[in-house]
């Protein structure tokens, strides 16, 4: 091998031997060194322009002046890119303006492009961050809910409901403070009272009840007051009275009581929003929002006057006009003089006085003030008082077109471009004539967010400029940051953006805005319930519902909010230990499915209940369309599903019997055939069944079909046999009860010492005892339960060493022929396939049990037990005969058992035969 390599090396050297010249030195340099020396050598050579000349020659043939182009490029000035190609003369004004206009357009387009790009990336970042936070929150809620459920399942001492919620909220998310617990309990009482009123068929002022609950909380903070103001705003929009008049007789509520439930649903949820009713609803929303802002500002006015009495100089006149004058003195009177732009009429700031009377909702007092100083006003502004009176007395605060045209002319002539016009007079003219709605601010008048919003609402005109919907688009363009400030930053105001959305009729967006923050989630849920109660909440279909956020936005339909998602995420933290209160919230989900006319009849009336049950499957959101009917039915099914889920989850709660129904001690697991009848002494109706009308389940059959039976099936799948048996029993499904017991006993018949087997046995014995006395569920299933219980008794006897008792019990079941009669053994083997599945499945169990009992009797008799020698021999012979019968029977069914079991039986048979 080495000789081959040497020869190869010699051959390789000979390949270049003819190139070597002894007169030339050898080069021992690397490639990098050779390249560096080559470049150095080239740099020493004089430059040659031959290549450049040749290139210029070739380009010249193509009529390209390369040198001129190089010179132009070198001296290119990009600052004059948009200058005209032809120079402008100094006197060419039109050309200059045209060029300037074009340059302005180009620069504006470029700036707009840059701003749009920056805004796009900012919004994209915010949206991505928000979606990520929503996903993270949902994952934490899911994981926390499961962990919390296991962590608190073993707690047995819960002295109060507050302690229950405080212990469970740790599992449903971040720990809840004592203040949050107090808030939850205060609002819980409101929802309970609401549902009680719905059951009685009367209206309930839920919004004012929520306001009272929020004000009852200790030491409310500024954000809490803002949320209370949002409830007050909604009460003005819905025109809900603070309280209802007392009912003097039984039928008074039918004719005289106001109807709140689903009052606005038919109009608000209609597909056509151009009808007269829809326009009237939008006007009511704008008017209610404006009135709420007016009351809020009047409260600020009074507190300002009371805080600075020396400057106000209120005196003894308690009139509203005098209080407004005192407020103006505090705000605009300094050093003995009024502010510069305040115009004095008859020695007082009359324009400001009239404006603030209107701003605080005292329009009639403003008109009286104008009439009192009519002469002085007319000397300055002719016909103002006449226009002002017409405007005040108009129901819609709108002047006829001739009056508006006159105001427009006066406004354009004397106020539009004047820098000295009183801003309050300017505001009054804008309000009366609805002038320049695009210019939304007035100096000194719209200084705060609330003032600006009031001005916009006062100028809304449903007949022109898009009305409230156009205002909503403008406000949505400003966004949350404009009103609430940057989120999670000092100075941000929670709840202001939600209030703004309420004012412009974006109710679903308002709830979603509150739901985004943990500290306002409670108010979000209860605001959504109040809106649904009044019929002002649109819910999406299941196909449009998102798992990340309750709000569904679609370009083809208005915003929608999943009320069921909000409620389930809210009650999930305390559902296991406070299922009663959790159900109160579930009862509110069908508010989004009931027809608007449902509130006109009492839910407690059986006649009306049956009639309504017939239409429950077609319940709509008020649109009357097929899609609305489907959404309404989906809401009902969601409420039923949550009810069943709560029943299963709260099965470990001590109040579970109260929730689903309780039975008398003498009938531990049975119910009357008609549990809803008062005559049944053995059955107490559960709270869910008592409130079933709120779920639009008005018959016992409907309640069993939609609630009890599916809940029982779910409990059975979760291995909660006791709860499943009770639910099936309450539903009157006695055959199903026995079938469940047979299956459960078949799974546990071989487990004598386990707690699960003992529990199943106890339940089965209690049920069987009651059912045998009442003659319920006779047949194959009940016989299987009896035989399985006898097998367990025999197994317990065998474990205790009582072989004879175990053998007698197994003979009494008649499952295995022990008479050594081949015809009977064969017939019983053929009948085996007709036995219950639980008995067939446990063939190995009771065959081995029987043979063990025979072996035990045989061993005891052989050891000398069982009397004299004659009796002992008789016993041994009898045992051998029965053992052979078992083996013959097992031989016929040999392939229905494992080989090990058959071998075990054969070994025992041999031992017995010896």
Residue 80: band (very low, low, confident or very high) from pLDDT cuts 50, 70, 90: low
Inter-residue contact 560 to 542 (CB < 8 Å): no
φ/ψ (deg, to 5) at 663: -120, 160
φ/ψ (deg, to 5) at 661: 125, 145
Please state, in angstroms and rounded to a whole number, the distance separating the CA atoms of residues 304 and 365: 20
Bridge partners of 554, per DSSP, are 557
Q: Find the radius of gyration of the CA atoms of the chain.
A: 45
Please state, in angstroms and rounded to a whole number, the distance separating the CA atoms of residues 261 and 591: 8
Predicted confidence at residue 679, as pLDDT, reads 33
Inter-residue contact 424 to 354 (CB < 8 Å): yes
Residue 847: band (very low, low, confident or very high) from pLDDT cuts 50, 70, 90: confident
Could you read off the pLDDT of 152-187 as tens digits, one per residue? 333 333 333 444 444 333 334 444 567 788 888 899
| Closest to 601 (Cα-Cα) out of 257, 267, 269, 277 | 257
Please state, in angstroms and rounded to a whole number, the distance separating the CA atoms of residues 415 and 417: 6
Predicted confidence at residue 177, as pLDDT, reads 67
Residue 525: band (very low, low, confident or very high) from pLDDT cuts 50, 70, 90: very high
Predicted confidence at residue 867, as pLDDT, reads 57
Highest mean pLDDT out of 109-123, 713-727, 776-790:
109-123
What single-letter DSSP state applies at residue 670? Answer: -
Could you read off the pLDDT of 853-878 as tens digits, one per residue? 888 888 888 877 655 677 778 888 88
Comparing 290-304, 339-353, 467-481, 682-696, the range with the smallest average pLDDT is: 682-696
Inter-residue contact 326 to 277 (CB < 8 Å): no
Predicted confidence at residue 172, as pLDDT, reads 42
Residue 488: band (very low, low, confident or very high) from pLDDT cuts 50, 70, 90: low
Residue 18: band (very low, low, confident or very high) from pLDDT cuts 50, 70, 90: low
Question: Can you list the pairs that 315-322 forms with residues at least 24 positions away whose Cβ atoms lie under 8 Å?
Answer: 319/365, 320/357, 320/360, 320/362, 320/365, 321/353, 321/357, 321/365, 321/368, 321/369
Task: Select the more confidently predicted residue: 808 or 416.
Answer: 808
Comparing 43-57, 86-100, 890-904, the range with the smallest average pLDDT is: 43-57
pLDDT at 331 over 80: yes
pLDDT at 194 over 90: yes
pLDDT at 21 over 70: no
Predicted confidence at residue 152, as pLDDT, reads 39
pLDDT at 53 over 50: yes
pLDDT at 588 over 90: yes
What is residue 817's three-state secondary structure? Answer: coil
Mean pLDDT of the residues in the chain: 79
Please state, in angstroms and rounded to a whole number, the distance separating the CA atoms of residues 628 and 631: 5
Angle at 881 between CA 875 and CA 882, to 5 degrees: 90
Q: Is the dihedral of CA 707, 713, 718, 720 positive or negative?
A: positive
pLDDT at 410 over 80: yes
Task: Select the more confidently predicted residue: 418 or 377.
Answer: 377
Task: Select the more confidently predicted residue: 53 or 152.
Answer: 53
* 30 contacts: CB under 8 Å, gap ≥ 6: none
Residue with tokens 């009442």: 774
Could you read off the pLDDT of 252-302 as tens digits, one per residue? 444 455 678 888 989 998 888 888 999 999 999 999 999 999 999 999 999
Comparing 370-379, 498-507, 598-607, 711-720, the range with the smallest average pLDDT is: 598-607
Please state, in angstroms and rounded to a whole number, the distance separating the CA atoms of residues 904 and 272: 80
Predicted confidence at residue 282, as pLDDT, reads 92
Residue 20: band (very low, low, confident or very high) from pLDDT cuts 50, 70, 90: low
Predicted confidence at residue 354, as pLDDT, reads 93
Angle at 783 between CA 777 and CA 780, to 5 degrees: 65
- Produce one character per residue of 494-504: b if its CB has 16 or more CB atoms within 10 Å, e if not: bbbbbbbbbbb
Comparing 161-170, 201-210, 324-333, 372-381, the range with the smallest average pLDDT is: 161-170
The Cβ of residue 649 has, within 10 Å, a number of other Cβ atoms equal to: 18
Please state, in angstroms and rounded to a whole number, the distance separating the CA atoms of residues 184 and 216: 12
Instruction: Give the tokens for residue 669.
Output: 């697991």
Strands 337-338 and 333-334: antiparallel
What single-letter DSSP state applies at residue 397? Answer: S
Could you read off the pLDDT of 730-774 as tens digits, one per residue? 887 788 888 888 888 877 776 655 555 677 777 787 777 777 776
Could you read off the pLDDT of 782-817 as tens digits, one per residue? 888 888 888 888 888 888 888 888 888 888 888 888
Q: What is the mean pLDDT of residues 375-381?
A: 88
Predicted confidence at residue 355, as pLDDT, reads 92
Please state, in angstroms and rounded to a whole number, the distance separating the CA atoms of residues 148 and 429: 62
Instruction: Give the tokens for residue 771.
Output: 């059912």
Please state, in angstroms and rounded to a whole number, the distance separating the CA atoms of residues 622 and 534: 12
Please state, in angstroms and rounded to a whole number, the distance separating the CA atoms of residues 214 and 220: 8
Q: What is the mean pLDDT of residues 119-135?
A: 81
């Amino acid at each position: 091998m080495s000789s081959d390599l040497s020869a190869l090396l010699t051959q390789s050297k000979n390949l270049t031997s003819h190139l070597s010249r002894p007169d030339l030195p050898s080069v021992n340099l690397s490639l990098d060194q050779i390249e560096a020396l080559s470049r150095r050598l080239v740099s020493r050579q004089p430059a040659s322009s031959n290549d450049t000349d040749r290139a210029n020659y070739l380009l010249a043939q193509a009529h390209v002046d390369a040198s001129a182009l190089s010179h132009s490029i070198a001296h290119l000035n990009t600052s004059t890119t948009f200058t005209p190609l032809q120079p402008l003369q100094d006197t060419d004004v039109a050309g200059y303006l045209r060029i300037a206009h074009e340059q302005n357009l180009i620069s504006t387009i470029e700036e707009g492009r840059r701003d749009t790009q920056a805004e796009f990336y900012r919004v994209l970042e915010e949206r991505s961050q928000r979606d990520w936070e929503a996903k993270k929150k949902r994952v934490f809620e899911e994981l926390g809910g499961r962990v919390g459920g296991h962590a608190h399942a073993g707690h047995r001492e819960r002295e109060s409901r507050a302690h229950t919620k405080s212990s469970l909220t740790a599992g449903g998310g971040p720990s809840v403070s004592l203040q949050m617990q107090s808030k939850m309990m205060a609002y819980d009482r409101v929802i309970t009272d609401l549902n009680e009123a719905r059951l009685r068929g009367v209206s309930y002022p839920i919004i004012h009840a929520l306001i009272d609950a929020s004000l009852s909380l200790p030491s409310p903070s500024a954000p809490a007051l803002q949320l209370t103001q949002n409830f007050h705003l909604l009460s003005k929009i819905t025109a809900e009275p603070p309280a209802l008049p007392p009912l003097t007789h039984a039928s008074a509520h039918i004719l005289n009581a106001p109807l709140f439930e689903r009052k606005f649903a038919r109009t608000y949820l209609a597909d056509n929003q151009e009808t007269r009713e829809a326009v009237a609803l939008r006007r009511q929303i704008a008017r209610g929002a404006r009135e709420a802002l007016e009351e809020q500002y009047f409260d600020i006015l009074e507190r300002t006057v009371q805080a600075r009495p020396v400057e106000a100089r209120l005196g003894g006149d308690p009139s509203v006009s005098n209080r407004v004058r005192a407020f103006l003195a505090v705000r605009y009177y300094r050093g003995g003089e009024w502010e510069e732009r305040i115009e004095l009429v008859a020695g007082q700031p009359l324009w400001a006085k009239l404006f603030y009377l209107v701003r605080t909702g005292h329009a009639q007092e403003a008109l009286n003030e104008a009439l009192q100083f009519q002469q002085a006003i007319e000397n300055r502004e002719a016909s103002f008082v006449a226009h002002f009176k017409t405007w005040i007395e108009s129901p819609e605060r709108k002047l006829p077109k001739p009056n508006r045209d006159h105001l427009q002319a006066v406004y354009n002539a004397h106020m539009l471009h004047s820098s000295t016009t009183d801003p309050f007079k300017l505001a009054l003219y804008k309000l009366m004539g609805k002038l320049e709605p695009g210019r939304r601010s007035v100096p000194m008048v719209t200084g705060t967010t609330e003032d600006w919003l009031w001005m916009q609402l006062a100028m809304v005109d449903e007949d022109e400029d898009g009305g409230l919907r156009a205002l909503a688009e403008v406000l949505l363009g400003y966004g949350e940051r404009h009103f609430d400030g940057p989120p999670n930053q000092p100075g941000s105001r929670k709840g202001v953006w939600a209030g703004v959305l309420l004012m412009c009729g974006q109710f679903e967006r308002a709830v979603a805005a509150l739901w985004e923050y943990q500290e306002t989630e409670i108010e979000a849920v209860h605001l959504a319930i109040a809106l649904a109660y009044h019929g002002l909440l649109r819910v999406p279909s299941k196909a449009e519902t998102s798992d990340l956020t309750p709000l569904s936005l679609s370009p083809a339909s208005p915003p929608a909010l999943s009320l069921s998602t909000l409620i389930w995420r809210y009650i999930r933290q305390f559902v296991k230990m406070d299922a009663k209160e959790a159900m109160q919230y579930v009862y509110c989900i069908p508010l989004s499915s009931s027809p608007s006319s449902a509130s006109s009849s009492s839910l407690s009336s059986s006649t009306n209940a049956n009639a309504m049950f017939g239409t429950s499957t077609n319940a709509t959101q008020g649109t009357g369309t097929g899609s609305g009917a489907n959404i309404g039915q989906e809401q009902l099914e969601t409420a039923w599903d949550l009810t069943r889920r709560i029943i299963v989850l709260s099965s470990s709660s001590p109040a579970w019997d109260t929730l689903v129904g309780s039975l008398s001690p003498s009938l531990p697991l049975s119910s009357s055939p008609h549990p809803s009848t008062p005559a049944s002494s053995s059955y107490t109706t559960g709270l869910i069944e008592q409130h079933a009308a709120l779920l639009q389940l008005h018959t016992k059959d409907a309640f069993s079909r939609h609630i009890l039976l599916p809940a029982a099936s779910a409990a059975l799948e979760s291995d909660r046999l006791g709860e499943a048996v009770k639910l099936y029993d309450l539903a009157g499904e006695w055959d199903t009860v026995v079938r469940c017991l047979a299956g459960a006993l078949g799974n546990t018949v071989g487990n004598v010492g386990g707690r699960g087997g003992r529990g199943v046995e106890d339940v089965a014995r209690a049920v069987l005892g009651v059912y045998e006395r009442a003659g319920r569920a006779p047949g194959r299933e009940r016989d299987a339960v009896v035989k399985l219980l006898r097998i367990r008794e025999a197994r317990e006897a065998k474990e205790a060493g009582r072989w004879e008792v175990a053998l007698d019990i197994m003979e009494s079941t008649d499952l295995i022929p022990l008479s050594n009669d081949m015809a009977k053994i064969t017939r019983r083997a053929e009948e085996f396939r007709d036995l219950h599945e639980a008995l067939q499945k446990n063939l190995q169990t009771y065959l081995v049990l029987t043979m063990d009992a025979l072996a035990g009797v045989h061993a005891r008799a052989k050891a000398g037990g069982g009397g004299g020698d004659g009796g002992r021999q008789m016993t041994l012979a009898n045992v051998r005969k029965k053992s052979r019968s078992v083996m013959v029977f097992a031989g016929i069914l040999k392939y229905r058992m494992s080989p090990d079991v058959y071998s075990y039986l054969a070994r025992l048979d041999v031992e017995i035969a010896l």
